[in-house]
Structure 1
Amino acid sequence: MTKESKKKRVIVGMSAGVDSSVAAALLKEQGYDVVGVFLHFWKEPGQDELRENKCCSVESQQDARKVAQILDIPLYTANAAQEFKKEVVDYFLSEIKAGRTPNPCVVCNERIKFNFLFKKMLEMDADFVATGHYAEVKKINGKFHLYTSSDEEKDQTYFLYSLKQEQLAKILFPVGTYKKPAIRKIAQNLNLPVFDKEDSQGLCFTPEKTPTKFIKRNLKLSSGDIITTEGKKIGEHGGLETYTIGQRKGINIGGNGPYFVVERDFKNNQLIVTNNEEDEKIFKKTMTVELKNWIADEPKLPLEINVKIRYRHPLVRGIINLSLTSDGSSKKEKKLYVVEFLEKQKAVTPGQSAVFYADDNEVLGGGIII
């Protein structure tokens, strides 16, 4: 039998969540030869008893096997722990140490998940890879374009902006045209045991749902003063690296709160806070972005776009253009772009991803806020 007459084979990344499980089910229903792959990521040694986040646990692997058995598809496992530790965890800690607030999930998708799935695709002479991400790919005039999901609340394109043309040509997002309740209903109708499984939250490599304790265990921190924007000392912090711009919870200051973080002054080891939500120091009119990727074509600039400055943040309007040096020349060789917001934005945070969207919900590209 020639390959042309065979079913198209697709490698599905299966995390044992409801989305990737239904993705595999939908593809099988559509006539694909489906092969599941469960990736083992790094976990912090000696912290198993603390684990609140179960997304990469032994239980998850067992759930993935149950789903694969019900769907009657093979499931392979791949050990990505070493690469994950180097590319994601070490990156996360180095960025935190440098005073930035990184997006490890963006890096994981870019350097780990899709890399391993594409390797498996080549090994198994498959045609496509697929995941349970909420996103859509459309081929228009010979180019592959990334679009937001039908489920606006669950859309995950923020984490996928670094995907290249050659990857998008081979990626399927089967759940991208569905809303989450419909996905759960499909899973329930198929008697998949994960139909009511909670969505994973937080970072998969931190035992706790928030990274603060993980950072404290893995970095040497120095305590210092908490100062208001008026210069008044109102408390002490346990390490600037455990805070992020705009943070409100976990500051632990009494008095006329709530306070939130305006700035982390690493030079003086001071955490600058305010209890005034309209404090000018927390708002920015512009931001500079080091571009990582234009997905289809580089747009003509300047261009008014929609931009997302962090996950779960609503889209805001801005004008993007090349950043200029002091002598007026562009910084295109460094891929630096400036975004001028139409309205000032609160808590624009270095290290976070800025993702650019067109009015028709196409993801144009994105980069890192600096």
Structure 2
Amino acid sequence: MRILAAMSGGVDSAVAAARAVEAGHDVVGVHLALSRAGGTLRTGSRGCCTIEDAMDARRAADRLGIPFYVWDFSERFRDDVIDDFVAEYRAGRTPNPCMRCNEKIKFAALLERAIELGFDAVCTGHYATLVDGPDGRELHRASDEAKDQSYVLGVLTAEQLAHTYFPLGSTPSKALVRAEAAARGLTVAQKPDSHDICFIPDGDTRGWLADRVGAQAGAIVDRSGAVVGSHEGAHAYTVGQRRGLKLGVPASDGKPRFVLEVRPVSNTVVVGPKEALATAEIAGERYTWAGRAPASDAFDCDVQIRAHAEPVPARAAFVGGALTVTPAVPFDGVAPGQTAVLYDGTRVIGQFTIDRTVSAVPVTA
């Protein structure tokens, strides 16, 4: 096959590309430039798309003896990831920019161009497994549970999965990948993993958002609507947050309070007891299927609401056009804007963006 290897400059994508070459594929490496202003992205090991990362990717490609290119996707990244991130926070939701990057950039924009250029598939260093089932290609969890990235890949569609290649999915551990990189003479063998949001240079998400959303003072209220404090910008708060609330009125039971809801229209933050974070139901209208769609409008599944959360057994059903999920055990601290990924065992069924949540604790409690 003709393989386009997306090379971030990290050890995983370098080893994935090496395995594609070793498997006999015709491989070309590409690094995605996601910002035209280098200073707007993290430096060193904390990002995944800096000038330093591009140089690391080029050295790896040279070591593998494959052609290498840098493609400018900065405009698409700004429109589909950064602007979406700001819009979601402005609407009082908590987005996952890495999820959106996978959906809109790595497996939409990149894959579209790859197909146009005659490539058969895009190869990445994600830890997930592809299985050719009776109804087409299926996305499954990686063999290494600690590194499994099937959650952030839950946005992939059947068509995208048909042109995707994940060489690391069956590798038992990240340590083995690093050892393999060292044995292959790849200089990124011990490079630290990237983390945090790549387009926020100093890690100050609150300050970065304040510059773009605007900081407007407002009230912090309890579940009854009584004002218990004030804030300098609702965008700085997310469901489940405890620190930094600075409440002027203590709770009657003396227990700490947590953010339960952010209401952008009224610029209000709602707080309450920890037990009120228990969520009995989630729903969303923006959903996709990773392969075949469920055969029924109601089905049992496991649901994961964060990248490293434990999956929870649940019942999913379509109610009024929305995919609604009722967990067997309440979720803890779910925020609108998060992504819920549905599983059948190890297989990813699909995903949806959470638009609505229902607390398991009545307001009168």
The answer to whether residue 299 in structure 2 is matched with residue 313 in structure 1 is: no
Deviation, 1:292, is 2.1
Q: 1:54 to 1:344 in 2, by over 3 A?
A: closer
Q: 1:171 to 1:75 in 2, by over 3 A?
A: same
Deviation, 1:262, is 1.4
Determine the C-alpha separation between the residues in 2 that align with 1:100 and 1:49.
Answer: 24
Q: 1:161 to 1:49 in 2, by over 3 A?
A: closer
The answer to whether residue 162 in structure 2 is matched with residue 174 in structure 1 is: no
What pairs up with 1:35-184 in 2 under 5 angstroms? 35-42=28-35, 47=40, 53-178=46-171, 179-184=173-178
Match of 1:239 in 2: 233
Match of 2:285 in 1: 290
Match of 1:4 in 2: none
- Deviations along 1:130-178, whole A, 9 cap, x unmatched? 1111111111114111101111122111122222222211210001111
- Deviations along 1:227-286, whole A, 9 cap, x unmatched? 444766554322111211112344456986754311223354332234x432xx322211
Determine the C-alpha separation between the residues in 2 that align with 1:248 and 1:266.
Answer: 19
Deviation, 1:43, is 6.3
Match of 1:365 in 2: 350
Match of 1:327 in 2: none
Determine the C-alpha separation between the residues in 1 that align with 2:41 and 2:101.
Answer: 21
TM-score, length-scaled by structure 2: 0.88
Determine the C-alpha separation between the residues in 2 that align with 1:243 and 1:43.
Answer: 30
Q: 1:50 to 1:109 in 2, by over 3 A?
A: closer
Determine the C-alpha separation between the residues in 1 that align with 2:47 and 2:290.
Answer: 32
Match of 2:271 in 1: 273
SS, match of residue 30 in structure 2: strand
1:321 maps to amino acid: A
Match of 1:328 in 2: none
State whether residues 10 and 33 of structure 1, in contact with CA within 8 Å, keep that contact through their aligned partners in structure 2: yes
Determine the C-alpha separation between the residues in 1 that align with 2:52 and 2:44.
Answer: 12
State whether residues 130 and 171 of structure 1, in contact with CA within 8 Å, keep that contact through their aligned partners in structure 2: yes
Deviation, 1:322, is 1.1
State whether residues 92 and 263 of structure 2, in contact with CA within 8 Å, keep that contact through their aligned partners in structure 1: no
Determine the C-alpha separation between the residues in 2 that align with 1:248 and 1:21.
Answer: 40
State whether residues 20 and 167 of structure 2, in contact with CA within 8 Å, keep that contact through their aligned partners in structure 1: yes
SS, match of residue 208 in structure 1: coil
- Deviations along 1:319-354, whole A, 9 cap, x unmatched? 001113xxxxxx2xxxx1111111122212111111
Match of 1:345 in 2: 331
SS, match of residue 274 in structure 2: coil
Say how many residue pairs are matched. Answer: 349
State whether residues 245 and 261 of structure 1, in contact with CA within 8 Å, keep that contact through their aligned partners in structure 2: yes
Determine the C-alpha separation between the residues in 2 that align with 1:194 and 1:45.
Answer: 21
1:364 maps to amino acid: I
SS, match of residue 62 in structure 2: helix
Residue among 206, 216, 235 paired with 2:210: 216
Q: 1:166 to 1:215 in 2, by over 3 A?
A: same
| Identity fraction in percent | 36
SS, match of residue 184 in structure 1: helix
Q: Any stretches of 5+ residues in structure 2 without a counterpart?
A: 356-365
2:263 maps to amino acid: D
1:69 maps to amino acid: D
Q: 1:49 to 1:187 in 2, by over 3 A?
A: closer
Determine the C-alpha separation between the residues in 2 that align with 1:51 and 1:194.
Answer: 12
2:28 maps to amino acid: V
Determine the C-alpha separation between the residues in 2 that align with 1:95 and 1:143.
Answer: 33
The answer to whether residue 15 in structure 2 is matched with residue 22 in structure 1 is: yes
Determine the C-alpha separation between the residues in 2 that align with 1:344 and 1:127.
Answer: 43
Determine the C-alpha separation between the residues in 1 that align with 2:65 and 2:258.
Answer: 51
Deviation, 1:53, is 3.5
Match of 2:194 in 1: 200
Determine the C-alpha separation between the residues in 2 that align with 1:252 and 1:104.
Answer: 28
State whether residues 53 and 208 of structure 1, in contact with CA within 8 Å, keep that contact through their aligned partners in structure 2: no
Determine the C-alpha separation between the residues in 1 that align with 2:44 and 2:203.
Answer: 8
Deviation, 1:71, is 1.5
SS, match of residue 329 in structure 2: strand
Deviates more, 1:156-165 or 1:117-126: 117-126
Match of 1:261 in 2: 259
